[in-house]
Structure 1
């Protein structure tokens, strides 16, 4: 089996494992585009054997919409994960396990990807001189969390654990 085939198989397995989270991640970007007036060039595309799902939208040159689009999945998927973990602790049996799986799927896909945050510094640089430092302060942690695969993985696991603890009443 070739490396490309193994990569596609790996991507398919990840998509199956966290698919609901991937869908809500992309639709959170979609909703943020709509709310900020950024034109969307189609619905989010799930590509089960590819490295990522995509939502194509017009180029964003303003920091506010760029930041909102980048962090929308973090907000939406975190809330969904929290709700699913709370539901999982309230019910037993197969429904509880389903809620637990969905909570993990939403939590694991809450952080923006590297592609989601790649323009944040460029749009922050376009802010007026007086607000530019605030733009950089907001962009830096978001970009840092998505730039390194290792850091993103650690943060994702930790954040999902926090959501689990909060949702299940362990805090």
Structure 2
């Protein structure tokens, strides 16, 4: 594997950063948590952020932190779906097809919550008001977030993005055909 500086990678995959931050904001709205500041994309670290007030419950904080995983995965797969089929099944794709696949991959590869998200989720888990069931379910997820963060050094986020943008459409075609 080779190294590409994070700011260049975020510029090339900026749609994923935007959708990631939008997902945090969407989950804030769903759980009636006021958003104080939003930056959907910038060149820097972090590439984007959502600053919000303290959610009403610890489970809301967990959902706000995990929101991008669900939203980015679904949107990345849906955007790539109509273009992945001609590329995978028929091998005759247009420029638009490749643009939609790039868009799907760039969105899906930003599905993983950031380490900042993991810290927020972890602080919610440690809270004494968080139920034991929630602690048991979510604790391994926090560990997985950190592993995925480490895995991004070996392009795990990119591999996930390609799998979502091409693998899910491939499975759907084979299941429905």
TM range (shorter): 0.7 to 0.9
Q: Does 1:40 align with 2:35?
A: yes
Q: Is the 1:28–1:72 Cα contact (8 Å) retained in structure 2?
A: yes
Query: What residue ranges of structure 1 are gaps of 5+ in the alignment?
Result: 1-8
Structure 2 distance, partners of 1:162, 1:97, is 15
Q: How does 1:5-154 map to 2 (within 5 A)?
A: 10-60=5-55, 62-91=57-86, 92-126=93-127, 128=129, 132-148=131-147, 149-151=149-151
Query: What residue ranges of structure 2 are gaps of 5+ in the alignment?
Result: 87-92
Structure 2 distance, partners of 1:142, 1:157, is 19
Query: Over residues 61-85 of structure 1, what are the superposed CA-to-partner deviations in whole Å (9 max), with x where a residue is unaligned?
Result: 6222111101110111000111123
- Structure 1 residue 117, shift from structure 2 partner: 1.9
Q: TM-score, normalised by structure 2?
A: 0.78
Aligned residue in 1 for 2:168: 166
Structure 2 distance, partners of 1:63, 1:161, is 33
Between the two proteins, the alignment pairs up a number of residues equal to 161
The runs of at least 4 consecutive aligned structure 1 residues that moved more than 6 Å come to none
Structure 1 distance, partners of 2:46, 2:37, is 19
- Structure 1 residue 124, shift from structure 2 partner: 2.7
What's the RMSD between the two structures over aligned residues? 2.5
Q: TM-score, normalised by structure 1?
A: 0.80
Q: Per residue, is there more strand in 1 or in 2?
A: 2
